[in-house]
Amino acid sequence: MTKKAARKTTAKKASAPTQQVPLVDYLRLGARPYLRAHECTRCGARYFDRRNACAKCGKTEFKNARVKNAARVKAFTIVHRAAPGIPAPYVSAIVTTEDGTTVRSNIVNCEPSPDTVKLGMKVKLTTYPIGTDDNGCEAVAYGYQPA
Amino acid sequence: MPADPNNGDDVWVLGTHMTKFGRYPDKDWVDLASESAMAAMADGKVTIHDMEILAAGSLFNASAGPGQRIQKQIGQTGIPVYNVANACATGATAIRTVYMAIKAGEAEMGLAVGVEQMGKMGMLTGATKKESKTYEPGGRFGAVTGVDGYLGTEGMPGVFAQAGMEYANDHDGVGFEQFAKVAYKNHMNSTLNPLAQYRKEFSLEEVMGAPVMSYPNTLLMCCPTGDGAASVVLVSGERLKSMSKRAQKRAVKISASVLTSDPWTESGQVLPDVNTLTRNAAQQAYEKSGVDPSDLDLVELHDCFATAELLHYDNLGLCERGGAGDWIDSGGPFRDGATPVNISGGLISKGHPIGATGVANVYEVTTHLRGEAGDRQVKGAKVGLTHVIGLGSSCGIHVLEKAAV
């Protein structure tokens, strides 16, 4: 939610303004959500977490990079037996984005069946709420859906 | 190709033992390790007083000092103890630790022990999710709650399913049926192994029709948790020369001992790359030993899940590059095939008590090279290879050769 939108909500005196928080800090919410990577300024290797030095080349400088939202499925599995509290079956996948970054996530808005999910399938980034905490704050995850 | 005569510079397996893998509610891991260690020394006709180094590994007891706990059961002789932990490569790391000490000339004889007691850990579904009451970013990804099940799976059956499906994406002729054949083969092999945790044959249809854990891995394509221990006594070639003819005849030469970790790959941060480090280790092992993949009479490799085994046919050079699907379809890794793989039943059916696994596969190959494997003996076996992967990752490979004397 943008600052402008938040002010507007406050002005209307809504009883419980819904706050959103990304599930992980590299998911950037907003009008057009995307994944932010730390990109090595020398070799271009990308990392979703913070690194003390680049695991590929050793350089210690990184810049923020916007990962492209279009991707293809490189590998997937359909998880039927999940840890308690996780709805199953669901599709877990490894996708390669248009700009060559590998991402792990669920495939959403897609039947969890090997007849539906295909290797090489075109997908795109999407976001969806996964729950609300005691303060009314909503957590938002990312997934990929068929493009 | 028989091993070179003992030139004194090599390291040899003198004695070895593994407990039957399974569940031991009436014993603890110290009992299992001690039983195996003493039996390995008895097998080599030596005692704890001959040992100059002890390396021990038990992943879930890493902070308990496994080596010293074992010493208190079998002999506190004051020798250096190295406690090692390297995920599923823990046992192979213990062996390599003793190997390096002997190679370095610091010891002539040493003992490596791997052990685990897992019972029924229920590891197939992954960790129980912790649901936060308040979303506060934490950890290196600033996660506000557990990500397993939202940002893909962290469960092992799924992680290895994806590794297999990546191979299927890159190569033709690989699918559910080829993966399932791995489990069909390994369950069948285990029926001949009295030390295996499970010894039941299943048809290919039964494997494919079993409950799906993480497609394409069904329940029968996943290794079980369990208890067990395995040990080896290693000796220098020089010391072996002074031992009995029988000891020299039963000794098995370690022609290569290799440990690698995973080099950076683009996808490694989201999908553990079990291929590159295996390829690197295999290349080193073949170079050091002078053994060609086509020389191998048997291979024990890390089939934690059926999807994983197929990749390693390719990584270890047992088949044409990209040809793992065709290779299993043509019977290559079966008992009567070109290179029998996991004749013990593998992790899938022999079992996978984590710390013991990387020692137990050396036990298995050694036993075949000695011609002492009973019903499951690979006839005339002279050269074998063992392989383990510890996720994170570590890869241990040992090439073993029959004594020429």
User: Is-contact A80 B124, C-beta < 8 A?
Assistant: no
Helix axes B306-315, B156-170, angle to 10 degrees: 40
d(CA B228, CA B206): 28
Contacts of B217 in chain A (CB under 8 A): 77
Neighbours of B321 (CB within 10 A): 9
What is the structure's pLDDT at B120? 80
Section B254-259 average pLDDT? 98
Percent of chain B with pLDDT over 70: 97
Indicate the DSSP class of residue B128. P
ipTM rounded to 2 decimals: 0.90
pLDDT above 90 as % of chain B: 94
B133 to A139, B8, B151, B310: CA distances (angstroms): 11, 65, 20, 43
Taking an 8 Å cut-off on Cβ atoms, the answer to whether A94 and B135 are in contact is no
Asked whether residue A2 is assigned to any structural domain, the reply reads: no
Query: Which carries the bigger pLDDT value, residue B49 or residue A18?
Result: B49
Condensed to tens digits (0 to 9), the pLDDT of residues B133-172 reads 899 999 999 999 999 999 999 999 999 999 999 999 999 9
Q: Is the pLDDT of residue A11 over 70?
A: no
Among the partner residues A45, A75, A133, nearest to B134 by beta-carbon distance? A133
Determine the average pLDDT of the residues in B277-305.
98
In percent, the amount of chain A with pLDDT more than 70 equals 88
Residue A7 within a domain: no
Backbone dihedral region of B354: left (phi > 0), alpha (psi from -120 to 50 degrees) or beta?
alpha
Q: Which residues of A touch B138 (CB under 8 A)?
A: none
From CA B299, how far away is CA B167, in angstroms rounded? 21
For residue A7, is pLDDT > 70? no
**pLDDT (tens digit per residue) in B225-237:** 999 999 999 999 9
Find the mean pLDDT for residues B327-348.
98
User: Taking 70 as the threshold, does the pLDDT of residue B52 lie above it?
Assistant: yes
What is the reported pLDDT for B121? 79
pLDDT at B128 over 80: no
Q: Are B224 and B368 in contact, with CB atoms under 8 Å apart? A: no
Which DSSP category does B349 fall into?
H
**What secondary structure, in 3-state letters, does B18-44 show?**
ECCCECCCCCCHHHHHHHHHHHHHHHC
Give the CATH number of domain B11-120+224-402: 3.40.47.10
> Which residues of chain A make contact with B127, given a CB cutoff of 8 A?
83
Residue A19 bridge partners (DSSP): A137
Domain assignments of chain B as residue spans, ordered by start: 11-120+224-402
User: Does an H or E element contain B399, and which?
Assistant: strand B394-402
Confidence band, pLDDT 50/70/90 cuts, at residue B1: very low
Contact B254, B97 (CB under 8 A): no
pLDDT value of residue B116: 97
pLDDT tens-digit map of B79-90: 999 999 999 999
Are B32 and B129 a contacting pair, CB within 8 Å? no
Task: At B190, list the tokens.
Answer: 């285990």
In this prediction, residue A85 carries a pLDDT of: 85
Beta bridge partners of A143: A126
CA angle B93, B98, B99 (to 5 degrees): 90
Token pair of B294 as six digits: 């086509």
Kindly state whether A90 is in contact with chain B, defined as any CB-CB distance less than 8 angstroms.
yes
Residue A4 falls inside a structural domain: no
H-type helices in B104-229, by residue range? 156-170, 176-190, 204-209
Q: What is the mean pLDDT of chain B?
A: 95
Specify the pLDDT at position B405.
66
DSSP B215-230: ETEEGGGBPPP-EEEE
What pLDDT does residue A118 have?
95
Residue type, A34: Y
Inter-chain CB proximity B158 and A77 less than 8 Å: yes
Q: In this model, does residue A66 exceed pLDDT 80? A: yes
Number of independent structural domains in chain A: 1
Question: Which residues, numbered 55 to 84 in chain A, qualify as contacts with chain B under a Cβ-Cβ cut-off of 8 Å?
Answer: 55-56, 73-84
- Alpha-carbon gap, residue B144 to B146, rounded angstroms: 7
β-pairing, A70-79 vs A122-132, is: antiparallel
Domain extent for A138: 18-146
Q: Count of A–B CB contacts within 8 Å?
A: 171
pLDDT of B309 strictly over 50: yes
Q: Are A23 and B145 in contact (CB under 8 A)?
A: yes
Q: What is the pLDDT of residue A83?
A: 85
- The reported pTM is 0.93
Q: What is the Cα–Cα distance from B361 to B230, expressed in whole angstroms?
A: 9
| Chain B residues within 8 A of A24 when measuring between CB atoms | 141-144, 147, 151
- By the 8 A CB rule, do A94 and B178 touch? no
Residue A76 has pLDDT above 90, yes or no: yes
Contacts of B53 (CB under 8 A, 6+ apart): B79, B80, B81, B82, B97, B98, B101, B106, B107, B110, B111
pLDDT-derived band at B6, boundaries 50, 70, 90: confident
Contact B80, B54 (CB under 8 A): yes
Residue A70: which residues within 8 A CB-CB, separation 6 or more? A97, A98, A122, A123, A124, A147
* Cis previous bond, B330, omega within 30: no
Q: Does the residue A5 lie in any domain? A: no
The reply to whether residue B149 touches residue A79, judged by beta carbons under 8 angstroms, is yes
B384 against A85, higher pLDDT: B384
State the pLDDT at residue A18. 72
**Reported confidence tier of residue A10, pLDDT bands at 50, 70, 90:** very low
Cα A128 from Cα B204, distance rounded (Å): 40
Task: Over range B95-123, report the average pLDDT.
Answer: 94
Residue A6 resides in a domain: no
**Structure confidence by residue, pLDDT tens digits, A21-41:** 999 999 999 999 999 999 999
- Say which amino acid occupies A11: A
At B334 the pLDDT is 98
Contact B388, B308 (CB under 8 A): no
A98 touches chain B (CB under 8 A): no
Place of tokens 């069948």: B188
Contacts of A80 in chain B (CB under 8 A): 211-215
